Amino acid sequence: MPIKRFADYLQRRGEYDAYMSPLVNHFNPETLPYLMCRSLISVAWDGKLYDCDFNQMLEMGLTKPRAVAPLTLWDIDALEELEGLPIATGSHCFGCAAGAGSSCGGALR
């Protein structure tokens, strides 16, 4: 996934756009219901909640609408409270939604 050091490496070499182009051009909307961000919660050491591991590395936390700070374990009583919250997205999301999709378990579709 083109984030953090790998994204920096691609940028320095002038290869970021070439890497991203196939991912963007092969976006598959059929993968969206199966992406990990729709059913996974990542919890950081400090209790902050994230909707995927990549968002955690990018510090793109789960938030409620109009919230100032990301949600933590101590802000919720049950996981059901997270249903329907917006999913944090960025260009790295094309890595999971291209072609047959990607997850820790392999192809999604």
DSSP state string for 26-76 = TB-GGGGGG-GGGT--EE-TTSBEESSHHHHHTT-----TT-SS--BGGG-
Q: Confirm whether 56 is domain-assigned.
A: yes
CA–CA separation, 67 vs 42, rounded Å?
19
Whole-number pLDDT of residue 47: 95
Read off the pLDDT of residues 53-102 as tens digits, 9 standing for 90 and up. Answer: 999 999 999 988 887 788 999 999 999 999 989 999 999 999 989 888 77
Q: Confirm whether 72 is domain-assigned.
A: yes
Percentage of the chain modeled with pLDDT above 90: 63
Whole-number pLDDT of residue 39: 87
pTM over cut 0.85 = no
Q: Confirm whether 105 is domain-assigned.
A: no
Domain boundaries, position 64:
4-97
Q: Confirm whether 13 is domain-assigned.
A: yes
Q: Confirm whether 103 is domain-assigned.
A: no
Torsion of CA 10, 15, 16, 17, to 10 degrees: 180
Q: Confirm whether 19 is domain-assigned.
A: yes
Total domain count, the chain? 1
Q: Confirm whether 15 is domain-assigned.
A: yes
Q: Confirm whether 85 is domain-assigned.
A: yes
